[in-house]
Amino acid sequence: MEKETGDSASKAAIMRMPAYLRYLKAEFEKGSVFVSSSVIANALSLSAITVRKDLALVSSLPGKPRMGFSVQQLISDLEKFLGYKKRTNAVVVGAGGLGRAILRYEGFENYGLNVIAAFDISPAQIGAVAGKPVYPMARLKEIVLREDARLGILTVPRAAAQEACNAMVDAGIRAIYSLASTQLSVPEGVHIKYEDLAASLAAFSSGLLVSE
Amino acid sequence: MEKETGDSASKAAIMRMPAYLRYLKAEFEKGSVFVSSSVIANALSLSAITVRKDLALVSSLPGKPRMGFSVQQLISDLEKFLGYKKRTNAVVVGAGGLGRAILRYEGFENYGLNVIAAFDISPAQIGAVAGKPVYPMARLKEIVLREDARLGILTVPRAAAQEACNAMVDAGIRAIYSLASTQLSVPEGVHIKYEDLAASLAAFSSGLLVSE
DNA sequence: TAGATTGTTAATCGATTAACAATC
DNA sequence: TAGATTGTTAATCGATTAACAATC
């Protein structure tokens, strides 16, 4: 008989986890050893109860009355929960401004992500950025297979997005993170997440999401 | 006596609006004149009822039984609702890879956002990108005042983030969109929104948010 | 007219908040 | 010990879904 797994994290809770991790890492740098839910809640503009509920979902050790939670333990638990301790290889398709910025960004290491290469249709872009190769699109499938890349990051212009997306799917990629701000159609079984920086910026700017 | 304003949009609903707009614009390109809630729902993996409820919040004209909603009208209503018809001036602080990509991106026009200039501490970055000036940080306040910039986009490295943030606040900016993936402290009255691309990418990659 | 699709009212579902006993 | 902070159970709140009469 299967053991009860208990509460599973809601999507809302999952989205708060990176914020906890970021905060706790900052606290760790400052030398904090223990931290209470109410302190975290204050810093992150959440309620203490929400924080405690969330931490209960990921914490391997219970918090201690009067002290709170071990900062170090919590960091480790959160990283494990968020999968930052596993390694995933990712490729970037589209070596324009945004694609190149992603290649240059070094912070992905902390998130268990290796951005291994980029691809572009334009011969002018072929070469390397920040020591990472930029290949022609024709080599996408070969490299994805060889490096077992699981995640594709789409940063091509809108007009080229569907074609580039198809190429990724054909290469065997089953998880696509699209920054191309256009609707894409993918076959069953391929996961896609749209991140529309411009739209979210605009929503924020117009004050609609001020409270978030 | 004040007239009842009716239901106001939930945050969840607001976040779906850009997706409707994107879809409707694509349909408009294809020549669609009317579209029903169930068609939209299918395309966007939502329920038809959710779509109808959401559209009721923004639509100035009711949908017609048997036909659905006017694509053109809905696009206009959504753009108005999302504030894309107003103009807001924005500045970028940090002219590294990501900052430069934002300067080069032309899609902001559609969202009512004018990215007018960038700022950087490094003299090497001063100049222009895509016809937009990159100024030294010392000129931030002057330009923000002159151009009435309301939104600041923060794209500096983590270590420089708080200092750059302070400079923005000092320059009179009251809405900061931070891509710096670090916790910032701002005075009361300054709105801040964190967008951690790396964290959201990692969460997606680890399969935690697959269903979104 | 007949039927598809709307808008609305009620029911369900899920997440947050409140209350409180347990405990270091 | 006394008290702050935890984890848990119950209540509230908000959003989604279901049901259905209205209507082009």
- What are the DSSP calls for B131-168, one per residue? TEEEEEGGGHHHHHHHHT--EEEE-S-HHHHHHHHHHH
- Cβ-defined contact of B151 to A182 (cutoff 8 Å): no
Q: Is the pLDDT of residue A7 over 80?
A: no
Chain B closest-CA separation from residue A64 CA (Å): 26
- Residue of B42, B185, B197 for testing the chain A interface, max A β-carbons within 10 Å: B197
Sign (positive or negative) of CA dihedral B102, B105, B109, B114: positive
B102-111 pLDDT, tens per residue? 999 988 988 9
A86-128 pLDDT, tens per residue? 999 999 999 999 999 999 998 898 899 999 999 999 999 999 9
Of chain A, the percentage scoring pLDDT greater than 70 comes to 94
- Shortest CA distance from A44: residue in chain B: B183
Those residues with Cβ within 8 angstroms of residue A192's Cβ, 6 or more apart along the chain or in another chain: A175, A176, A177, A178, A184, A186
Chain A hits for B108, CB-CB cut-off 8 Å, are: 198, 201-202
Kindly state the average pLDDT of the residues B166-186.
93
Which pLDDT belongs to residue A3? Answer: 32
B92-151 pLDDT, tens per residue? 999 999 999 999 998 898 899 999 999 999 999 999 999 999 999 999 999 999 999 999
Least confident of A29-38, A42-51, A179-188: A179-188
Q: Is the pLDDT of residue A28 over 60?
A: yes
Nearest to A145 by CA among A162, A123, A170: A170
Closest protein residue to C2 (Cα–C1'): B66
Kindly state the average pLDDT of the residues B28-56.
95
- Cβ-defined contact of B205 to A19 (cutoff 8 Å): no
Which pLDDT belongs to residue A206? Answer: 79
Give the separation between CA B126 and CA A53, rounded to whole angstroms: 48
Measured to protein CB atoms, the chain C nucleotides within 7 Å are 3-8, 14-19, 22-24
When pLDDT is cut at 50, 70 and 90, the band that residue B7 belongs to is low
| Nearest-nucleotide field for A47 (CA, C1') | C17
Q: Is the pLDDT of residue B11 over 90?
A: no
> Mean of the per-residue pLDDT values for chain A?
91
CA angle at residue A14 from A9 to A16, to 5 degrees?
130
- Cβ-defined contact of B202 to A83 (cutoff 8 Å): yes
Q: Which two tokens stand for residue A189?
A: 């079984």
When pLDDT is cut at 50, 70 and 90, the band that residue A208 belongs to is low
Residue A111, phi-psi category: left (phi > 0), alpha (psi -120 to 50), beta (remainder): alpha
The pTM of this model reads: 0.88
- Cβ-defined contact of B205 to A150 (cutoff 8 Å): yes
Give the separation between CA A19 and CA A55, rounded to whole angstroms: 12
Residue A207, phi-psi category: left (phi > 0), alpha (psi -120 to 50), beta (remainder): left
> Is there contact between B14 and strand D, defined as CB under 7 Å from any strand atom?
no
> Is there contact between B212 and strand D, defined as CB under 7 Å from any strand atom?
no
- Cβ-defined contact of A205 to B15 (cutoff 8 Å): no
Q: Is the pLDDT of residue B212 over 50?
A: no
Which pLDDT belongs to residue B69? Answer: 97
- Cβ-defined contact of B205 to A151 (cutoff 8 Å): yes
Q: Which two tokens stand for residue A15?
A: 């989205």
Which pLDDT belongs to residue B90? Answer: 97
Which of the pair, B65 or A203, is modelled with greater confidence?
A: B65
**Chain A 13-52 contacts with nucleic strand D (CB below 7 A):** 36-38, 48-49, 52
- Cβ-defined contact of A206 to B98 (cutoff 8 Å): no
- Shortest CA distance from B18: residue in chain A: A199
Q: Which residues of B22-52 are buried (b: 16+ CB within 10 A; e: fewer)?
A: bbbbebeeeeeebbbbebbbebbebeeebbb
Nearest to A108 by CA among A93, A86, A126: A86
Q: Is the pLDDT of residue A165 over 50?
A: yes
**Chain B 37-96 contacts with nucleic strand D (CB below 7 A):** 46-47, 49-50, 53, 64-67
Give the separation between CA A127 and CA B178, rounded to whole angstroms: 31
Q: Is the pLDDT of residue B1 over 70?
A: no
When pLDDT is cut at 50, 70 and 90, the band that residue B8 belongs to is confident
Those residues with Cβ within 8 angstroms of residue B19's Cβ, 6 or more apart along the chain or in another chain: A194, B44
Give the separation between CA B128 and CA B95, rounded to whole angstroms: 10
- Residue B77 CA distance to nucleotide C4 C1' (Å): 25
When pLDDT is cut at 50, 70 and 90, the band that residue B208 belongs to is low
- Residue of B186, B205, B208, B210 for testing the chain A interface, max A β-carbons within 10 Å: B205
